[in-house]
Chains A and B, each alone.
Chain A
Amino acid sequence: MRLTLRRLREPDGRALLLYRVEVTGELAAAAEAAGSGAAAAGSVPSGPGGSSAGARAHG
């Protein structure tokens, strides 16, 4: 996970922070797969590195 931050100012001086967060390598692939599955099925897999097959969504 790599976080890149651009610090800007609004015309009236207020802070504006623009974040890019890079989900690196295989974690990204795993997360996207998990995310698309969750979007379709409502499932909630654990994150990469988790030891199980994912969330246990009671139903």
Chain B
Amino acid sequence: MGELRWHPLLGQWVVVAAHRQERTYKPPTEFCPLCPTRDPAHPTEIPDDDWDIAVFENRFPSFVADPPPPEVAGTALSPVAPAQGVCEVVVYSPDHRRTLAEQSVAHIRKLVEVWAHRYEELSRRPFVRYVMIFENRGEAVGVTLHHPHGQIYAFPFIPPIPQQELARAREHHRRTGRCLLCDVLEQEAPAAAGGVASPVDGRGERVVVENDDFVVFVPFFARFPYETMVLPRRHVSSILELSGRERWSLASALKGILTRYDGLFGFHLPYMMVMHQAPTDRPAEGYPECHFHIEFLPIQRAPTKLKYLAGSESGAGTFITDATPEEMARQLRRAARERGQDPAGEGDGGEGGR
């Protein structure tokens, strides 16, 4: 087990987890550790198939609840700390081949329920300050197990990107009295009559999918190719605050964008999916500025080309994109139709055909 080492220049923790070098690496299907055990002589992580969604603590975790002391001494500039936290694997179904995009809306709805339960349960651990639900999909993103699954990291600190987002949102709230992402939503999908965005006059031109409760759009400021944000219309700070109806709508919106991602180039698009929501350290003032959302960060910029986080992105933190967000949104909207999947099944003349 490793430890946390403080990066004095960036002011953030680095997790040293050298034992992860030994983790299971692209096993053949018959030796998949995430499939239910079929031969007791060769047990997997999951003993039976009587479940919808399985969650287990990662065998090769970056954090554990009861970590040993750091193996190295820190310095005045770089203190060290135990890597205390929780790392969980979320197996989407017993089916080895069915990706999240291929699951029914009803099954994704079940997953939303499990995500909410995990967020709630992990947030009760006293050492957990931030629960991040995410999925890395595709070998290009670094996936080592092909059975469709996501992960949850319960961090002992608020990681830098959520922290930066919260700081910006807090500043916006202080200055304007409004939520930053509510204002982004108004910019991307302004509520018109009936709460429907109108891309006809240029508004909503980056919207890809929407329903009564959620909007999925390529942000004006997208950094990754075909990046999208899944944003609830109502201001909620965590998945726990979503009503039953909103949870259905989230499942539906996820199905919609995932279908388009897979239709875009005709193969399972590699992506990172990251859920951003309120930290769990429960300060007295709460997190009124936090607006729950999910970000999809794909890395495929063309059918045979990947976007690398190279010098400018990794060295300077400045992203350079190869296409405009408006064009990326157009391609995503077209993706389902070109695969013979007319969005909403209503054709161009219907409400869903814009």
Which residues does A use to contact B, with CB under 8 Å? 1, 3, 5-6, 8, 10-12, 14-21, 23, 28, 31-32, 34-59
B212 to chain A, nearest CB (A): 5
Indicate whether B165 reaches chain A with its CB closer than 8 angstroms: no
Q: How far is the CA of A44 from the CA of B204 in the complex (A)?
A: 18
Contact, CB under 8 Å: B106 / A28: yes
Given contacts A38-B252, A44-B211, 8 further A-B contacts (CB under 8 A): A19-B110, A43-B345, A44-B105, A49-B245, A50-B212, A59-B333, A59-B336, A59-B352
CB closest chain-A residue, reference B64: A14
Contact A58 B343 (CB under 8 A): yes
User: Nearest CB to that of A28 among chain B residues?
Assistant: B106
Interfacial chain A residues near B102, Cβ < 8 Å = 39
User: Which chain B residue lies CB-closest to A3?
Assistant: B113
User: Does A42 contact B256, Cβ atoms closer than 8 Å?
Assistant: yes
Interface size for B (C-beta < 8 A) is 65
Query: How distant is the Cα of A14 from the Cα of B46 in the complex, in angstroms?
Result: 12
Residue of A nearest to B336 (CB): A42
Q: Closest 7 interchain pairs by CB?
A: A47-B248, A35-B104, A57-B343, A44-B256, A42-B341, A42-B336, A55-B211
B residues 317-352 touching A (CB-CB < 8 Å): 333-334, 336-337, 339, 341-346, 348, 351-352
Q: How far is the CB of B335 from chain A (nearest CB, A)?
A: 8
**In the complex, what's the smallest C-beta–C-beta distance from B264 to chain A, in angstroms?**
12
- The answer, yes or no, to whether B293 is at the interface (CB within 8 Å) is no
Number of A-B contacts (CB under 8 A): 203
Docked-complex contact B207 and A58, CB < 8 angstroms: yes
* Interface check B109, CB cutoff 8 A: yes
Contacts of A59 in B (CB 8 A): 333-334, 336-337, 342-344, 348, 352-354
Q: Find chain B residues with CB under 8 A from A36 CB.
A: 104
Whether B54 and A55, one on each chain, are in contact in the complex, defined by CB atoms closer than 8 angstroms, is no
Listed stretches B11-19, B22-30, B55-63, B274-282; interface member: B55-63
Are B55 and A19 in contact, with the CB atoms below 8 A?
Answer: yes
* Cβ distance B179 to chain A, nearest Cβ, rounded Å: 23
Structural contact, B54 and A50, CB atoms closer than 8 A? no
Contact A21:B53 (CB < 8 A) given known A40-B341, A42-B343:
yes
- Answer whether residue B238 sits at the interface, using C-beta atoms and an 8 A cutoff: no
* Contact partners of B344 in chain A: CB under 8 A: 41, 43-45, 54-57, 59
A56 to B200, CA, bound (A): 14
CB distance from B181 to the nearest CB of A (A): 20
B146 within 8 A of A: no
Partner of A46, one of B57, B212, B343, B345: B212
Contact string, B172-196, partner A, CB cutoff 8 A, digits 1/0?
Answer: 0000000000000000000000001
Interface residue B222 (Cβ < 8 Å from any Cβ of A): no
Mark contacts of B78-113 with chain A using CB atoms, 8 A cut-off: 1 yes-contact digit, 0 otherwise.
000000000000000000000000101111011001
User: Is A17 a contact of B54 with CB atoms below 8 Å?
Assistant: yes
- Residues of B with C-beta under 8 A to A8: 47
- A50 and B45 contact, CB distance less than 8 A: no
- Please, how many angstroms separate the alpha-carbon atoms of A15 and B57 in the complex? 6
Q: Please name all residues of chain A whose beta carbon is closer than 8 Å to the beta carbon of B104 when the two chains form the complex.
A: 31-32, 35-36, 38-39
User: A38, B105: Cβ atoms under 8 Å?
Assistant: yes
Q: How far is the CA of A44 from the CA of B354 in the complex (A)?
A: 14
User: Closest residue of chain A to B102, judged by CB?
Assistant: A39
Q: Which residue of A lies closest to B341 (CB)?
A: A42
Chain B contacts for A31, CB-based, 8 A: 104-106, 109, 248
What are 8 A-B pairs at a CB distance below 8 A?
A: A15-B55, A31-B109, A32-B104, A35-B107, A38-B255, A44-B253, A50-B245, A56-B354
Contacts of B351 in A (CB 8 A): 53, 56
- Chain A, Cβ-Cβ closest to B106: A31
